[in-house]
Amino acid sequence: MEKQTMNHLSVDDVKQMLLYVGENITASKDYLGEIDAEIGDGDHGTGMATGAEAFTKKLQESEFETVNDVFKTTGMEMMKSMGGASGIIFGTMFSDGVKQLESKSSIDHTGLSEIFRGSLDSVKKRGKADVGDKTMIDALDPAVQSLEADSSKELTLAVVLKHAEEAAWNGVEETKQITAKHGRAKTLGDRTKGYQDAGATSVWLIFKSMREWVEQHEG
């Protein structure tokens, strides 16, 4: 039998996929913390894991009618539980992308591209940062550009997410070349060169997890 590819995500697929993202964030708590400790205060792993545990609980105990509500709830839980700059940044990444989107009961890769474009624009606005500032935007911006470049092509969701994951990772690599301008790392200035940004690493992990979930659920 031919391999079944996954091209659409139902409301429950999106929920299961984000639960898998949450599992991976929790499992990467120490890894993310160590990266942040190099040039930040080392709390990024515990912060992200706190957010992931909060949204996991909420997603598990809730019933959702739309894809929009799943993303929105995920982000809101991160904002409420994490606090601080990264709570707002990552909360916004999950909750704001669906704001401009009509209510959907399923999405394909074009829908995913629209969601993350909304996320990126909102994160930039809220955090007043842009590409080259050594933040998570350095991974999210290229990931969104990759999603947009693929959005009119006939590709499977897994392939599109693989491209976005690779673009995010290239962005993480690029953050090593940049001096930090935002967050706590900015006080270290030039000493931040050579170290990758923790938040950018989280963005890569999120795209990697979404790609893995889709691959694992293809028949």
- 151 vs 173: CA distance, rounded Å: 25
Q: How far apart are CA 192 and CA 147, in angstroms?
A: 29
Please count the residues of this chain forming the interface with Mg ion, following the rule CB under 5 A.
Answer: 5
Q: Quick one: which of 143, 144, 198, 194 has its CA closest to 171?
A: 143
- Residue 174 lies near Mg ion (rule: CB under 5 A): no
> Could you identify the residue written with the tokens 């031919």?
2
Q: Is 182 in the site for ligand ADP (CB under 6 A)?
A: yes
Q: Does 162 bind Mg ion (CB under 5 A)?
A: no
Among 36-44, 91-99, 119-127, 148-156, the segment contacting Mg ion (CB under 5 A): 36-44
Q: How many residues does the chain have?
A: 219
Q: Which does 56 bind (CB under 5 to 8 A by kind): Mg ion, ligand ADP, none?
A: none
Nearer to ligand ADP by C-beta: 115 or 203? Answer: 203
H or E element at residue 43: none
Instruction: Tell me the CA end-to-end span of the chain in Å, nearest whole number.
Output: 10
Q: Are 18 and 172 in contact (CB under 8 A)?
A: no
- Asked if residue 142 binds ligand ADP (CB under 6 A), the reply is no
Closest approach, Cβ 84 to ligand ADP, in A, equals 4
- 43 forms part of the interface with Mg ion (CB under 5 A): yes
Distance between CA atoms of residues 128 and 32, nearest Å? 23
Using CB under 6 A, which residues numbered 71 to 130 contact ligand ADP? 84-86, 89, 123, 127-129
What does the binding site for ligand ADP look like in residue numbers (CB under 6 A)? 36, 40-41, 43-44, 47, 84-86, 89, 123, 127-129, 135-137, 182-184, 197-200
